[in-house]
Structure 1
Amino acid sequence: MRADRLVSLVLLLRHRGRLSASSLARELEVSTRTVLRDIEALSAAGVPVYAERGRHGGFALLPGFQTELTGLNHDEALALLVAGSRRGAQMFGLGSALASAMLKVVDALPEGQRDTAAGAARRLLVDPETDLLSRRVAGEEVPDGIVAEVRRAVFSGNKLRIHYAAAGGPARWRTVDPIGLVTVREQGYLLATRSGEDRTYRLSRLRAAEELPEPAQRPDLVDLDRAWQERGTRFRTGGEDQVVVLLRMNPGRREELAGTALAVLSEETEADGWLRLEVTFQDARHAEWALWQLATNAEALTPQWLRDSLRDRATAITTSYGAPS
């Protein structure tokens, strides 16, 4: 761990130039005291790092210093393979490995290309933390230690013991055969089997994980995309709490509804141009929330309890705003 950090520190100084101890601490996700100890260790090892004092001071390397520290370790190579989504790397506990790997990739470039690549990279922004309305993109926090244990079991092909809290229930231990990891819309999932049955576990609901020495019972080859599609189909068409709603809606809001609902079961265009849809929602609360977002651009036709619930909510708001402030 420390060796990787020392490599990253040297590469940061090579590519960024002079950096303060606090800036290095933020980049490496350690304390300032740790950075100072690392600087001392590099100096003792013969790396020509020196300190500049003053308001704009910091640490720097002597001009012309070169390194051969560009070899990627396993996690760094893996991080590059999932680098198409920076948030995906974070979800799988590979955020720091990705940052370290990218430093090594840049360091391996010929000197003439290095500045060009760095300049181009500054003109690309992938997955910002907020959208155009300054709304934060809601991601899920999963401790790196838990994800690392899950990741090891997935790659080694061993059984995995997890302490998992299902929605609305207490956490309990279970032993599973891990198949693979999937990230969708800032949420991470473990695909596994348990007693031969397909299971899907949300990473944010894991309270602990432990790789076991016993080999997992699973096929040697897996098509994760197909497995995910099949599980999604079963989820959309099953479940005791799911609600089927018949509704009319403005066609201009159709994609918004389709992105929220579990499935669109049927669809036809009425004489006035509006759409008549039969749609499945996860539960009653989900159905009411989705229809409420559409306001007068949609009308639930059935079930009657949903019409009553939406009417009562609208009446309560009308009454509230009808009274003097």
Structure 2
Amino acid sequence: MRADRLVSLVLLLRQRGRLTAETLARELEVSTRTVLRDIEALSAAGVPVYAERGRHGGFALLPGFRTELTGLNHDEALALLTAGSGRGEQVFGLGSALASAMRKVVDALPENHRATAGDAARRFLVDPETDLLSRRLVTEEIPGTTMLEVRRAVLAGHKLRIHYAAAGRTPEWRTVDPIGLVTVRDRAYLLATRSGEDRTYRLSRVRAAEELPEPAQRPDRVDLDRIWRERSARFLSDSHLTVLLKLNPARREELLDTALAVRAEQPDTDGRLRLEVTFQDARHAEWALWQLGTDAEALAPQSLRTALRDRAAALVARYGNPPG
């Protein structure tokens, strides 16, 4: 870990010039004392780093010093820089590692490509924190120590002990065999098995975690995309409500924001969309369609049509008479 930090320190000085010990400590997420020790270690290893005194002082490298890193072409670096602008690193607790990797990517570029790749990457925005309607996308908070233990167990292939709080239940400890990690819309999940049975755990509900020394019972090769599709299909088929409806195409995105899944979709002869949509339950479906007003019409099940009709009738009765 210290070797990676030393490389990151050199790259920071190369790319940003003179920096104070406080700035370096903040960027590397260590103490200023650690930075000073690292500076001494670099000097002892022959890296030409020197201190400048005074109000605007700090540490800098002699001009022309360059580290030896594998080169990347312009498009390869642009792809990495753009991918690194997403927020998956926040979900899996890899923010510091990503920052270090991006510094290495930039430094590995030929001199004439470095500025243009950085400018090009700034012209791509991946997963901003708000959408066009100014709705803020909230990333679930996962303690760093918990995420570290989970990540270690997944990568090492060891069993994992987690203190898990399932919805509406008291947290309890359980030992699982981790398979992989998945992030969907800023929610992170642990795919695992427990006593041979498939399990999917939402990481924001893991209160604590401990990597165990025993090897996990899992296959050597894994297709996370296939496993996720299979588990998603099973999840949607268990105790959820499927609704057939017609919808004004202009409201499609609003519906997708509230529904669990769209099973089928096709244009109808009257210009509306005919969709088969899955909701959590009848209450969820009634609430979601009510928000869409007359732009949505539930066709089935009949119980949902009846519930929406009764709600509309109650509203008419309330406002059909003068107030008082």
* Range class of TM-score, shorter chain: 0.7 to 0.9
Q: Deviations over 1:54-77 (max 9, x none)?
A: 3x5543222122334779xxxxxx
Structure 2: give runs of 5+ residues left out of the alignment: 72-79
The 5-angstrom pairing of residues 1-325 of structure 1 reads 1-32=1-32, 34-36=34-36, 38-39=38-39, 42-43=42-43, 47=47, 48-54=49-55, 57-68=57-68, 83=83, 86-239=86-239, 242-258=240-256, 260-264=258-262, 272-275=270-273, 277-300=275-298, 302-304=302-304, 306-307=307-308, 310-311=311-312
Report the count of equivalent residues: 311
Q: Cα gap change, 1:303/1:267 in structure 2, threshold over 3 Å: closer, same or farther?
A: farther
Shift of 1:44: 5.8
Q: Distance in 1 between matches of 2:318 and 2:52?
A: 64
| Secondary structure of the corresponding residue to residue 226 of structure 2 | helix
Q: Distance in 2 between matches of 1:295 and 1:109?
A: 55
Q: Deviations over 1:117-172 (max 9, x none)?
A: 33433433333333344443211121222222222222222221111111121211
Cα pair 1:159 1:215 within 8 Å, conserved: yes
| Secondary structure of the corresponding residue to residue 284 of structure 2 | helix
Shift of 1:30: 3.7
| Secondary structure of the corresponding residue to residue 170 of structure 1 | coil
Q: Deviations over 1:167-204 (max 9, x none)?
A: 12121111111111111111111111111111111111
Structure 1 partner of 2:75:
none
Cα pair 1:11 1:104 within 8 Å, conserved: yes
Amino acid at match of 1:262: L
Cα pair 2:107 2:114 within 8 Å, conserved: yes
Q: Distance in 2 between matches of 1:196 and 1:65?
A: 55
Amino acid at match of 2:296: A
Q: TM-score, normalised by structure 1?
A: 0.79
Q: CA RMSD in A?
A: 3.6
Amino acid at match of 1:94: L
Q: Distance in 2 between matches of 1:132 and 1:68?
A: 43
- The farther-off stretch of 190-199 and 120-129 is 120-129
- The farther-off stretch of 152-161 and 259-268 is 259-268
Shift of 1:37: 5.3
Q: Distance in 2 between matches of 1:232 and 1:253?
A: 25
| Secondary structure of the corresponding residue to residue 218 of structure 2 | coil
Structure 1: give runs of 5+ residues left out of the alignment: 72-79
Q: TM-score, normalised by structure 2?
A: 0.79
Amino acid at match of 1:53: G
Q: Distance in 1 between matches of 2:188 and 2:194?
A: 19
